Every structure is written in structure tokens, then in C-alpha cells.
């Protein structure tokens, strides 16, 4: 039996839902004892879908994936897929720096309802490009669902180059997208030139969504969507419909918030922002820390700048 035997069925789901345009990289809520709150995660996902998000990513960097156990990751996928899987494309972050572990986690996430999986570049061990190609090819082969690659060299220590991505997109049927967080517009432009037209490029940085749209991107895997999803969707739609000045104004209005959410390591600021907005998602797990007083001020000012909090006296 082909390792892609389930792809046809899953592809029909993708056609009906689409892969998503505004995809929040969902935070992981923790209770006061530091345990994962699956119910709150599902409720937050539902809230974001009701605001217009058409995809949700569970278990990404923003979810504090390095400190989540496999059981916690799978439980989150299960909870979110059950709650919003009929209305949004549910992506599960299943990539690790161990190919065999990635295969296992990918199969488990798909079994629990993930519509697609996101695979980060193997981190710390820094494989060469051929190693990356083989790693992603093997994982896609067992997935049987759409696969999104995730390039974030600032965290992983390895850059997934355009030639390698284009080769994967051409040779592996279900590698359909990439979350590009290299911050390098030249690299993303080169990828758009080399990759098949149907291959989807997502911005992995909120502040670069509009520039990436201008070189052929289709959407964003977002941190700020937790707070301003309707405005991000409006910006993307305005750009697509040729209302470029309107898109630029929306981008500039949100820019202070985009910057505030990265005043320190993600997801420290966004979890604090969500608490200010009434979502008790808890602090981050160690070794991440609560925001400092100065960082708290920066996040508050970012929320004030977009009208989500009243301006302080």
C-alpha cells in the first residue's frame, strides 16, 4: 500500500476547507499548576475561528512546543480538531530534530484529526540540505495529509534554501506549503520564482505579511491573529483585490502591535496580551519567564495603539 494512500481523501478535505489564509499559531494555555488546559485551548481556537481565522496551528513555536510532551501535543490536537475541525483547517506541528520521532508524532497527530502537519527544520543538529530533503520526504511519506514546511533559521540554526524547497514541492506530492520566517525577502522571492505556482508561501512574521504578499505569498501563520485577526484578514483581502493603499494603511496601523509582540521572546508577550484581554492562558513554562515590567508596558502600549485597550493617562 502506498504511504500516500490517505492523501486523496485528505486532499478533498483541503479543497473544501482550503489550507487557511489567516492561521493563528495557537498559544498553549496552562493552569495555575502549569498543566495544559485543553478545554481553554479549544475555546480559544473556536473564538479565533469565529473572528475569521480559517486555519489553526497547534503545537508550533508559539505553543511552546519544546516544553510540551508528546502526550500533551496530541491531546491539544485532539481537543482543537474536535472543536473547530469542521470549520477550519487544523495544522499540527509535528517536526522534531529526530526523523524517526517526527514520523511517529506525525502519524499520531493525523490519527487524532489533524488536517495537515507543519514540519520545522531539524534544530541544533543542523543537517545539510540533502539531509533536510530526505527528512521532509520521509515524514511526508507517512503523513498522508498536506505538509507545510517551516523555515525559521534564527531558532533552528539551519536555513532551508529555495532550491531545496522547490525540489520538495516538485517531487513530494503532499508538500504543499511553507511558513517562511527567515525574514529574507530576496530568499522568499527566489522561492516564489522556483516553486510550482500552486505551492503556498505563508509569512511567518506578522510584520512581513504585506511585503511577502507582494512577492507571491498567500497568507500568514500569525501570532498577532490572537488579537487582531479581522484586521489581518481585511489587509490580505484588500491587497488581493487591488486596494493596495488600504492594505498598507492597515499594515501600518497594526505595526506597533506587531513589534510589541516581539519585544522579547515569543510567546511571552502574546500570552501577557491575551491575559490583559481576559484569556487566562497562564505564563510560559520555564526556561521562559513572565514579561518584565518594561516589557509589560511595551505590550500594553501596543494594544493601546490598535485600540484594544484604552490609552493610559
pLDDT at 17: 57
- Alpha carbons 103 and 282: distance in angstroms, whole number: 31
Rounded Cα distance between 238 and 277, Å, is: 27
**For residue 313, what pLDDT is reported?**
54
pLDDT at 6: 45
pLDDT at 27 over 50: yes
Mean pLDDT in the chain? 94
Give the three-state DSSP class for 221: strand
**CA–CA distance from 300 to each of 29, 267, 272, 291, 309 (Å)?**
20, 15, 9, 11, 7
pLDDT of residue 10: 45
Query: Residue 84, Cα to own-chain centre: how many angstroms?
Result: 16
* Domain-wise residue ranges, the chain: 7-242
What's the rounded mean pLDDT across residues 54-73?
97
Is the pLDDT confidence value at 3 over 80? Answer: no
* pLDDT over 70 percentage in the chain: 94
Largest CA distance in the chain: 66
- Which of 274, 88, 224 shows the shortest CA–CA distance to 236? 224
How far from the centroid of its chain's Cα atoms is residue 86's Cα? 19
Cell of 204: 511567518
Tell me the per-residue pLDDT of 174-191, one tens digit each, with 9 for 90 and over.
999 999 999 999 999 999
pLDDT value of position 95:
98
pLDDT band at 312 (very low <50, low <70, confident <90, very high): confident
CA neighbor of 265 nearest in space, from 186, 155, 105, 115: 155
Out of 3-12, 119-128, 190-199, 259-268, pick the least confident: 3-12
How many residues make up the chain in this entry? Answer: 313
User: Where residue 18 falls among pLDDT bands split at 50, 70, 90?
Assistant: confident
pLDDT band of residue 311 (cuts 50, 70, 90) is confident
What CA–CA distance (Å, rounded) separates 144 from 172? Answer: 11
Mean pLDDT of 92-114: 98
- pLDDT for 208 beyond 90: yes
Burial of 202 (0-12, 13-18, 19+ CB in 10 A): buried
- The whole-angstrom separation of Cα 12 and Cα 207 is 32
In order of 234, 249, 278, the CA distances from 309 in angstroms are: 21, 20, 12
Q: How many CB atoms lie within 10 A of CB 209?
A: 27
| Model confidence, pTM | 0.94
Average pLDDT, integer, range 30-58: 97
Rounded CA-CA distance 57/37 in Å is 16
* Residues annotated as catalytic (active site), given as ranges: 150, 179
Alpha helices by DSSP H, listed for the chain, are 7-17, 38-50, 70-84, 99-111, 129-143, 153-156, 162-171, 185-194, 209-214, 225-240, 244-260, 268-276, 293-305
Q: What grid cell was written down for 111?
A: 490519527
- Residue 222, helix vs strand vs coil: strand
Task: Cell numbers for 243, please give them.
Answer: 486596494
Contact residues for 170 (Cβ-Cβ < 8 A; gap 6+) = 195, 196
Q: How confident is the model at residue 301 (pLDDT cuts 50, 70, 90)?
A: very high
Q: What is the mean pLDDT of residues 104-116?
A: 98
CATH superfamily of 7-242: Aldolase class I (3.20.20.70)
* Over residues 2-16, mean pLDDT: 43
Cα-Cα-Cα-Cα dihedral sign, residues 85, 91, 97, 102: positive
Q: Convert the pLDDT of each residue in 248-265 to its tens digit.
A: 999 999 999 999 999 999
Summarize the confidence of residues 95-122 as an average pLDDT. 98
* Percentage of the chain modeled with pLDDT above 90: 93
Q: What is the pLDDT averaged over residues 38-67?
A: 97
The per-residue pLDDT for 5 is: 42
Bridge partner list, 238: none
Amino acid at each position: 500500500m502506498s504511504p500516500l494512500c490517505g492523501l486523496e481523501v485528505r486532499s478533498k478535505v483541503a479543497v473544501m476547507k482550503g489550507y487557511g489564509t489567516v492561521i493563528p499559531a495557537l498559544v498553549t494555555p496552562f493552569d495555575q499548576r502549569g498543566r495544559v488546559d485543553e478545554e481553554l485551548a479549544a475555546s480559544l481556537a473556536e473564538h479565533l475561528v469565529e473572528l475569521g481565522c480559517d486555519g489553526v496551528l497547534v503545537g508550533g513555536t508559539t505553543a511552546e512546543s519544546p516544553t510540551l510532551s508528546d502526550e500533551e501535543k496530541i491531546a491539544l490536537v485532539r481537543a482543537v480538531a474536535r472543536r473547530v475541525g469542521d470549520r477550519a483547517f487544523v495544522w499540527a506541528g509535528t517536526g522534531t530534530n529526530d526523523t524517526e520521532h517526527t514520523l511517529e508524532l506525525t502519524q499520531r497527530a493525523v490519527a487524532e484529526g489533524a488536517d495537515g502537519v507543519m514540519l520545522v527544520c531539524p534544530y541544533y543538529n543542523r543537517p545539510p540540505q540533502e539531509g533536510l530533503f530526505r527528512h521532509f520526504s520521509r515524514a511526508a511519506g507517512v503523513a498522508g495529509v498536506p505538509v507545510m514546511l517551516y523555515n525559521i533559521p534564527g531558532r533552528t540554526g539551519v536555513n532551508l534554501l529555495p532550491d531545496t524547497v522547490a525540489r520538495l514541492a516538485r517531487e513530494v506530492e503532499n508538500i504543499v506549503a511553507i511558513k517562511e520566517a527567515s525574514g529574507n525577502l530576496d530568499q522568499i522571492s527566489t522561492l516564489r520564482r522556483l516553486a510550482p505556482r500552486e505551492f503556498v508561501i505563508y509569512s511567518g512574521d506578522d510584520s512581513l505579511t504585506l511585503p511577502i504578499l507582494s512577492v507571491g505569498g498567500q497568507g500568514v501563520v500569525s501570532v498577532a491573529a490572537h488579537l487582531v485577526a479581522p484586521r489581518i484578514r481585511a489587509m490580505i483581502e484588500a491587497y488581493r483585490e487591488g486596494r493596495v493603499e488600504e492594505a498598507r494603511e492597515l499594515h501600518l496601523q497594526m505595526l506597533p502591535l506587531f513589534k510589541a509582540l516581539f519585544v522579547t521572546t515569543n510567546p511571552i508577550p502574546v500570552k501577557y496580551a491575551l491575559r490583559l484581554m481576559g484569556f487566562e492562558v497562564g505564563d510560559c513554562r520555564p526556561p521562559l519567564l513572565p514579561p518584565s515590567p518594561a516589557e509589560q508596558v511595551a505590550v500594553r502600549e501596543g494594544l493601546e495603539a490598535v485600540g484594544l485597550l484604552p490609552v493610559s493617562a
